[in-house]
Every structure is written in C-alpha cells, then in structure tokens.
Amino acid sequence: MRKSFCININLKIVIFLLLFCGFKAIAQNQASEENNVIPYDLKWSERTALSILNKYPQAWQLDGNDKPKWDYKMGFVLSCFEKLYQKTNNKKYLNYIKDYVDGMIDSTGNIKKYDIKEYNIDYLNPGKLLFNLYEITKDSRYLQIIGKLRTQLETQPRTASGGFWHKEIYPNQMWIDGLYMAEPFYTQFTVKYEKGKSLDDIAKQFELVQNHIVDKKTGLVYHAWDESKEIAWADKQTGTSPTVWGRGIGWYMVALVETLDYFPKSHPKYKVLAGYLKQIAKNVNQYKSESGLWYQVADKPEKFGNYVEPSASGMIIYAFAKGANKGYLPASYKSVAKKSFDSFIKEFVKVDKKGEINVLNVSSNVGLGGKPFRDGTNEYYLTAKTKENGAIGLGSFLLSAIELNK
C-alpha cells in the first residue's frame, strides 16, 4: 500500500513538472514574440529568415539599399525564402516574396525601370520567383513577366562561340556569376513551356565555361572570360580574368545544382553537367581551410591578406549538401558540408541580444572593367571592403541551413 502511494505521488510530481515546463516554455516563447526576440530553439534556417525579416521589413532594403530595385541579390535571398516556405508552409515567408515582387511590377505586367536594351543577365535571377507565385496565385502579370525575361534571352548578345554576354556594356564577356543568373531560370522555362527545346543551348553555356573559364592547373574557375581578349584585364592567350574568386566558384556550383534540378535525366547532356559538378566539387574540396571554409582568392590560401569568406563558403556548403542529397555527388560530400557548416557558425555567425543572426565579414560586391576600371587582380579582390550582413552572405548561410535541415 505504501509503495503504491509513493508511486502515485511520484507520477503526480512528474506530471506537474512536465506541465510546468510546458507552460514555462510557452510563456517564454510568447514573451520572446512580444519583445521581438527570436527563440534560440528554432533551427538556424528559421532564425536566419526571421532575422532578415526583422532587419529588412521590405526585401528591397537588403544589402542596405535605400530604394526598391529589381536586383539579383534580392532574387538570391528570396529564392532561399521560397525553399523555406516549401519546407515549413509558413505564409510569412511567401508573403515576403510576394510583397517584393508586387512592389516591383505595375498593374499591366511590367517590371518598373526594367530596360531590355541593357541586356543585363542579372535581371533574370529574380524571375525565378515568378514560377511558383504564378502557380499559387494565377496572377497573369507574373506569367507575362516570365515571358518578357525569356524574350530578353532571345536577343541577348552572345560571344562568337555562343555564350551570353554578361551585359550590353561588357561586349564579348562571359562572367561566371552569369551562369547562376540565367541558367536555372532558362532551364525551368524551357522545360515547363517549350518542351525542353533550349536544353542544348543551356548545356552549351556550361561547356563554354569548361573550355575557357576553368583553370587547367587547379580545376577551379576564373571570374570571367573575354572571347575577344581585348579588354585590359583579359589574359592575352586565354582571355580569362586574373583571379579565381571564391564567391565565383560558389555561383558556378549553385548554378549547376539548381540547373540539374530541372534538367531531364533522359537528356544526353544531363550526365555531362553532373560530371562538371563532380569535377569542380573534387577540386574545390582541396582548397578549403583546415576548418573547412573557403577563401576570397580561392586558389591562394597563403597569399598575404587573404581570408576565409562567408558567401563563398555558404554557397559551396549548399552545393555539396544538395549535390549529395540529390545524388549528383557522392554521399561523402554531405559529411564535408556538415563539418564546414559548423565551422561557418564559429567563424562568421554572431547572435545578438534579440536572438538575431548576423553574418560577419561578407565581401562587398566586386566586378570587372567599368569606370573607374576594375582590373580583376588578386589585390583588387582582397582590398574589397567587407561588411556585416551582406545580402549574399546572409542568403548563402540560409541556403546551406535549409539544405542541411539545420
């Protein structure tokens, strides 16, 4: 009888404690929400997304912009929100995308301040957001804009061998980031609306990178290639720019994994593209730091002033993880990605008193040519300013966290 009584009392105590802890957790979460504090028990992906929403209530404010614009950086970060919405079904993330897009287009289905004659390949990147928005809302404006961006590719200037110019103002030049800006959009469009008629052309863009932008010594990619070899930064024999840029490698690897998402496995070029991914993954894995991160000038870790850089590291982590998850890469790359992700948090992530995620030391945007002239030397990339919460750094961390389910 005494034993039964004790068991009864112990059960009541356990139940009381469980209820107490549960109520306490609910109260703490409610208090956090009321004070706009992000709970620490959420996944890194949601903590990062909520941090972005707090810091930049309108997506056009990302990267410190002071006015709305149709921009590849917003397209990159919002594509991460799209992936997070698909995982969580949280309308907050979808609305963030929709508010940005709706603010950038007019009632007749035009992008504000968009001029096709600029032939800026960066403009295609935000267009990826419109496929799902159209499927969800059936708003015809989204479909019109998808079509207009596809039309840009019809007349986009090309190099003599068929590669898209990066912009009208950069004649005969392919930039490695342009593969990310155009090809996932182009692939999704041609498979969805053209029965895949442009798949060979898409594969050709990657083949040109392989033939002309990949460094034969390291297997890594230069930032750009001028087929005419006329611009001052171009090597007179190869036409490539001087630097193997860490973020450029990231852009290229993300371009490959996200193009492969839509590229039919039955197409003969599918295995070719998967082979390019395997090749760049193997090579870039040999250039990571001891902790598993990647450098601003990727092929010269020992160079004075060189540093591990978050946007490059986050993109490569994502490509490794997604490649392994999708079977494009061997499963072992998932383990590499996990270790590098942990190092990313230690090296780059600062959590403030509000529970907000901050990503440190993100390289500012870099380019080639223009006025004043950007010469593309190693020193140019190493003296580019770094900043906290650069949009590509935040986005690449969010992207890798989503793919690793962290």
For residue range 281-296, list pLDDT tens digits in order: 999 999 999 999 999 9
Per-residue DSSP letter, 313: H
Between CA 18 and CA 394 the distance in angstroms is 37
User: Residues 63, 71, 177, 299: which is the catalytic one?
Assistant: 177
Per residue in 145-155, pLDDT tens? 999 999 999 99
Average pLDDT over residues 193-216: 98
pLDDT at 33: 46
Q: For residue 318, what pLDDT band results from cuts at 50, 70 and 90?
A: very high
Q: 278: which 2 tokens?
A: 């395997």
Query: Of 367, 350, 368, which is closest to residue 359 (Cα–Cα)?
Result: 350
Tokens 């005969």 identify what position? 172
Residue 270, pLDDT above cutoff 80: yes
Per residue in 330-367, pLDDT tens? 999 999 999 999 999 999 999 999 999 999 999 999 99
Residue 65, pLDDT above cutoff 50: yes
The 3-state DSSP composition of the chain as helix, strand, coil percent (nearest 5) reads: 60, 5, 35
pLDDT at 74: 98
How many CA atoms does the CB half-sphere of 226 hold within 13 Å?
19
63 catalytic per annotation: no
Quick one: what percent of the chain has pLDDT higher than 70?
91
Residue 36, pLDDT above cutoff 90: no
Average pLDDT over residues 253-269: 98
- Strand, coil or helix: 318: helix
Phi, psi (degrees; rounded to nearest 5) at 295? -95, 160
